[in-house]
Amino acid sequence: MSLRNYEIWQRLTDHPANPLIKPKRPEWIVGDPTIIPPKESPDGKWHLFAHGILFGITHYVSLDGIHWINTYHKIDSGMRAFLFKEDEIYYLFYEKYQNIATSCIVVRHSTDLFHWSAPYKILKPELPWEGKSDRKLACPCLVKLEDRYRLYYSGGTVVLWDCLFFEPKYIGVAEAESIKGPYKKRQKPIISPSKEHPFRNYAAGGIKVIKTRDSWLGFNNGIYKENGFRSRSSILLLKSDDGLRWDDALPRPILYPCGTGWKRSFVYQLDIRKVNDTYWIYYNARDGWALGWEGIGLAQLKMK
């Protein structure tokens, strides 16, 4: 069954053991996971990188993708990472703060996922929509095209006043001939918040993109105000013919906050990889607003 049959995403199911990874005190957040499955890893194991507020980007390892061990190997004080593999080299893209009001996208590389090069800055805030006094770039996602690399990223911020933290406002694109750049940005964002969109009426959040043989899929954690008041985030499935102009593939989110448990208030960023005939989707969620913790769960879609 092709990924173009968007109705299959309505069969997406949460793993019964969720959340698979919880923060350990004094940390209260572990979020924005990015993964390498066994057949793509250097040692046949699952590898996952996620960030916390106190300890930055941390490395987790698993034999089955369900039970995770924290290696306590801190990569950097960055956040919102994305792993990309090419020619047996792993590239870790992430947001790194330059000062309290400015963050950039950097990349570092490794051959074993444990020893990393120094970070190399590839994208900094320059355009008006990327912020004024608060200038931040976040949520990188790299896609390889035939003759170039396309980097999706978020820029600008909004304040979630009921949570007392910031979320990305717009999504943009930059392209380069080399994986380390220089990257040339499109001058305008490709996804913006819209008051008419029920699940992206406050901010665009971030996006993870998959290019299939004949189409593009985007997984967008839109930020919205529910009933004009309470902040929320859900994962929307988007479709595109060129990876630049996006439309909703389904009328409602595929992953969304619900109940009274670990994903009561927000469902945030994800990473998705195919293992045999199943898509494994790791994502993070939050159980509250100003007071709350964030953990990482797994949703799976088995292709028939």
7, part of any domain:
no
6, part of any domain:
no
Is the pLDDT reported for residue 273 higher than 50? yes
118, part of any domain:
yes
5, part of any domain:
no
User: What is the rounded CA–CA span in Å between residue 195 and residue 187?
Assistant: 22
pLDDT at 158: 95
pLDDT at 1: 44
Structure tokens that stand for 185 in this block: 């940005």
Domain that holds residue 119: 13-302
- Give the list of residues 6+ apart from residue 153 with CB closer than 8 angstroms, or none: 105, 123, 137, 138, 139, 140, 141, 171, 172, 173, 174
Number of domains in the chain: 1
Torsion of CA 78, 120, 132, 161, to 10 degrees: -10
pLDDT digits (tens, 9 = 90+) for 235-266: 999 999 999 999 999 999 999 999 889 999 99
Least confident residue range of 2-16, 23-37, 285-299: 2-16
Kindly give the pairing relationship between strand 294-302 and strand 278-286: antiparallel
2, part of any domain:
no
Residue 161's identity, in one-letter code, is W
Is the pLDDT reported for residue 55 higher than 90? no
Per-residue buried b or exposed e for 204-238, using 16+ beta carbons within 10 Å of the residue's own CB: bbbbbbbeeeebbbbbbbbbbbeeeeebbbbbbbb
User: What is the rounded CA–CA span in Å between residue 79 and residue 100?
Assistant: 14
> Where does the pLDDT of residue 292 fall: very low under 50, low under 70, confident under 90, or very high at 90 and above?
very high
DSSP one-letter code for 290: S
User: What is the rounded CA–CA span in Å between residue 293 and residue 30?
Assistant: 8
Is the pLDDT reported for residue 304 higher than 70? no
Residue 50's identity, in one-letter code, is A
pLDDT at 197: 97
232, part of any domain:
yes
Please, which residues bridge with residue 59 across strands?
49
Once rounded to an integer, what is the mean pLDDT over residues 271-280?
92
95, part of any domain:
yes
Once rounded to an integer, what is the mean pLDDT over residues 133-152?
95
Is the pLDDT reported for residue 116 higher than 60? yes
8, part of any domain:
no
pLDDT at 172: 98
pLDDT digits (tens, 9 = 90+) for 64-75: 999 999 998 888
Is the pLDDT reported for residue 13 higher than 90? yes
pLDDT at 73: 87
User: What is the rounded CA–CA span in Å between residue 302 and residue 304?
Assistant: 6
CATH number of the domain enclosing 184: 2.115.10.20
pLDDT at 303: 76
pLDDT at 2: 58
Phi and psi angles of residue 9, each rounded to the nearest 5 degrees, phi first: -70, -15
